[in-house]
Structure 1
Amino acid sequence: MEVVILPTTAARAGLAAAAITDLLRRKPSAVLGLATGSSPLPVYDALVDAHQAGQVSFAAARAFTLDEYVGLPAGHPEAYRQVIDRELVGRVDFADGAVHGPNGDTDDVPAACGQYEQAIAAAGGVDLQLLGIGTDGHLAFNEPGSSLASRTRVKTLTAQTRQDNARFFDRVDDVPHHVITQGLGTISEARHLVLLASGAAKAAAVAAMVEGPVSASCPASVLQLHPHVTVLLDPEAAGLLTLRGYYEQVWDGKPDWQGI
């Protein structure tokens, strides 16, 4: 796991966006994993800027989103497919039908979960997956207690997660109680995982993820078992890391050609 601590949002977003643009230049048909929430939004803005400057095309790429609320009607502005369309897909040149999300507006949720797993496998798996982390250590919507080998399934949100997400709705009571989420086992099959976190509110979760035991109590700690993980933090989110000085030393001495 590579931990990179950078002081500005632009620097962190730029690094993540550069990893994606470099991937698409090497492999135009790459499969991307797209996250919602606040953390990836600056990355999407940086990708849009790169696309508008003629530096990258998404025309041959495909993408899968991490999760979706269950029960929101099609077209709801906070449905994650709508969010992804608004923040990235509709601003670049993805082909029609190239971006997929779980179907949370269905009468057969278990079937939708299985179909989503099959679709990711049929695409050859995810090359690069963007991630955030919840204040309780959840990854996607894998809340504490989730199996580290879990697959795409329906989950019940904790009161804390619903409160954290209430900022996107009129009130906390409007936040759905259930979601479809890629499982920790599903996420771990992506070839490169890039997680972004900022703010002191994330510091405890980040420390548990990076330096704590691998445990279902902190679902994001499963990333310790992955061979290629990049964690991009601001100084506040890195505030409780015991080995912070070492991570900074390693990054400062990294060859420019190596990337993340």
Structure 2
Amino acid sequence: MMIYQGKDYKDLSEKAAEIIAAEVFMKPDAVLGLATGSTPIGVYEELVKLYNMGRIDFSKVTSVNLDEYKGLSPENEQSYRYFMNHYLFDHVNIDKSRTYVPNGLEEDSQKACDEYNQLIESVGGIDLQVLGLGGNGHIGFNEPGDVFDKVTHCVKLTESTIEANARFFNSKEEVPTEAYSMGIQNIMSAKKILLIATGERKAEALYQALYGPISPKVPASILQLHNQLAVFADPEALSVIKEKGLL
């Protein structure tokens, strides 16, 4: 595990983007696992800058997103497909036919999940997976529970996650209560993982994820078992870890 402490959000976003750019430089047809939410926005903005500078070429890249809300169309401004188009895909030379997001409009949950698992397998697996970190320790939409969900599955979102995501909607009532999400096995099968955490409210979750017991009650704790984990965090997110003398 490598932990990089950024001076601030912009700094860690720049460094994380450089890691992604290096992966694509070394393997132009890389499969990138991408995340949504407020945390990776800065990384995507930096990738667009690198693209405009001629330092990264997305033309052969394939992307596979972690999750999507069930019931939202790709045109819905709160869907994760819309998010990815808005912050990254519309601004670089990626082939959108090779950018994949779970089908939020598929009402048959088992069908949607089976198809996404087959898709991940068909592209040869993920070379580099980008992850954010939920305040309750979730990664993707893998919520705290009694077992680790292995592969893509339909998740009933916890109250804390719905409340955290309500800021993106007009009201809490508009937040979907279910989502399709890659499972822990999908994530852990990636060759490399890049975890990004910012802000004091993520500090306890980050400590539990990296140094606490490995438990489905803190889904991100499974990342301790990955041999190619890079963590990018700001001083606030690392505050609990530093208080305990672990960094």
Q: TM-score range by the shorter chain?
A: over 0.9
SS at structure 2 position matched to 1:154: strand
2: CA distance, partners of 1:146 / 1:100: 29
Provide the residue aligned with 2:32 in structure 1: 32
Residue equivalent to 1:252: none
Aligned residues: 247
Find the aligned partners of 1:109 and 1:197 in 2 and give their Cα distance: 30
Q: Give, in angstroms, the shift of residue 10 of structure 1.
A: 2.1
Which residue pairs with 1:73 in the alignment? Answer: 73
Structure 1 17/191 Cα, relative in aligned 2: closer, same or farther at 3 Å?
same
SS at match of 2:58: coil
Say if 2:25 and 2:56, in contact at 8 Å, map to a contact too. yes
The answer to whether the aligner puts 1:151 opposite 2:151 as a matched pair is yes
- Cα RMSD of the aligned pairs, angstroms, is 1.3
**1:92-122 Cα shifts (integer Å, max 9, x gaps):** 0001301001011013221111111111111
Map 1:78-227 → 2, pairs under 5 A: 78-145=78-145, 147-148=147-148, 150-227=150-227
Deviation at 1:149, TM superposition (A): 5.2
Structure-1-length-normalised TM-score: 0.92
Q: In the aligned structure 2, how far is the partner of 1:109 from the partner of 1:121?
A: 19
Could you list the runs of 4 or more consecutive aligned residues of structure 1 that deviate by over 3 angstroms after TM superposition?
A: 242-247
* Aligned-pair identity (%): 37
Q: Does the 8 Å CA contact 2:32/2:64 hold for their aligned counterparts?
A: yes
Q: Which runs of 5+ in 2 are unaligned?
A: none
Which residue identity does 1:194 align to in structure 2? L
TM-score (norm 2): 0.96
Matches within 5 A, 1:47-66: 47-66=47-66
Question: How many angstroms apart in 2 are the aligned matches of 1:28 and 1:192?
Answer: 16
Indicate if the aligned counterparts of 2:144 and 2:219 stay in contact, CA closer than 8 A: yes
Q: Is the 8 A contact 1:73 1:105 kept in 2?
A: yes
Amino acid at match of 1:22: A
Q: C-alpha separation between the residues in 2 aligned to 1:148 and 1:5?
A: 29
What is the one-letter code of the residue matched to 2:162?
A: R
Establish whether residue 240 from structure 1 lines up as the match of residue 237 from structure 2: no
Structure 1 residue identity aligned to 2:159 = A
Query: Unaligned 5+ residue runs, structure 1?
Result: 248-260
Do the aligned partners of 1:137 and 1:206 also contact (CA within 8 Å) in 2?
Answer: yes
Contact 2:36 2:84 (8 Å CA) reproduced: yes
Distance 2:28 2:54 in 1: 14
| Equivalent residue, structure 2, for 1:255 | none
1: CA distance, partners of 2:228 / 2:152: 21
